[in-house]
Amino acid sequence: MTAAPSLAARLRADETIVTAWSTLAVPILAELLGRAGYGAVTLDMQHGAHDIGTVREGIAAARLGGAHAVMRPAVDDFATVSRAFDLGAEAVIMPMVNSVEDALALVGAAKYPPVGARSWGPHRAAMLQGVSPADYLAAANAETVALAMIETPAAVEALDEILAVEGLDGIFVGPGDLSLTLSDGASVTPSSEAVQSMAAEIAAKARAAGKFAGIFCNTTADARAARDMGFRFLAHGVEMSLLMDAAKAKLAELD
């Protein structure tokens, strides 16, 4: 049986991958989201309720459901980057990468030498992929995806230098925090014209640099616009909201 293409391979082929966003520490939901048709599931340790235990189980559950497993750690938690990859994640989205130094720290945790300084121990990852540890090592630097979140004016200012970091696979725009920081804390307006225009410029620079471009999409209109901008990794649908919306719709059928 031929192995399914990796997330990295699909992004290199310029496929559009839609990821669900998982904030609830209930690993089976990752499987259900995959079975529902999402191409990937992102387990959120920054703002979600996940810990390393539910990430461990959520990665396996996502893969069981046919989805690529992605993880977002807390700010500056570079140690968890390596752990997530060891547990079988295919991509990590690091929040608040504001400088070349932040990007280098991400690459250091995500990639094996000589590109980075990731420590050896991917036994669960190799098991989930059905490969030997040696085969995992041979492909790991190309097949693990390290994405730096661009969500502040400092990150936008340093974007060219961040994109030039060897081993960084791409960027992921956080429009909520981008709007918050651009307004100096006055408002959160991720769908505003100013934020969306800046997102388009970020995507164009990322693609010109040969890097992947991802973004969190708060509305369906934002997701469609992001695809047109050149983003190919789209976060669209938080499982808590999906559950609540489905429950409300079901109850409304009785009215």
In our burial notation (b when 16+ CB lie closer than 10 A, e otherwise), range 108-122 reads bbbbbeebbebeeeb
Span 83-119, pLDDT tens digits: 999 999 999 999 999 999 999 999 999 999 999 999 9
Span 50-81, pLDDT tens digits: 999 999 999 999 999 999 999 999 999 999 99
**Binning pLDDT at 50, 70 and 90, where does residue 2 land?**
low
The catalytic residue positions are 47
Give the Cα separation of 19 and 33 in Å (integer). 9
Give the Cα separation of 148 and 165 in Å (integer). 11
| Phi, psi torsion values for 11, nearest 5 degrees | -70, -35
Span 189-234, pLDDT tens digits: 999 999 999 999 999 999 999 999 999 999 999 999 999 999 999 9
Q: How far is CA 168 from CA 20, 135, 148, 229, in A?
A: 23, 22, 8, 21
Contact 160, 144 (CB under 8 A): no
pLDDT on residue 3? 72
Q: Which amino acid is at 9?
A: A
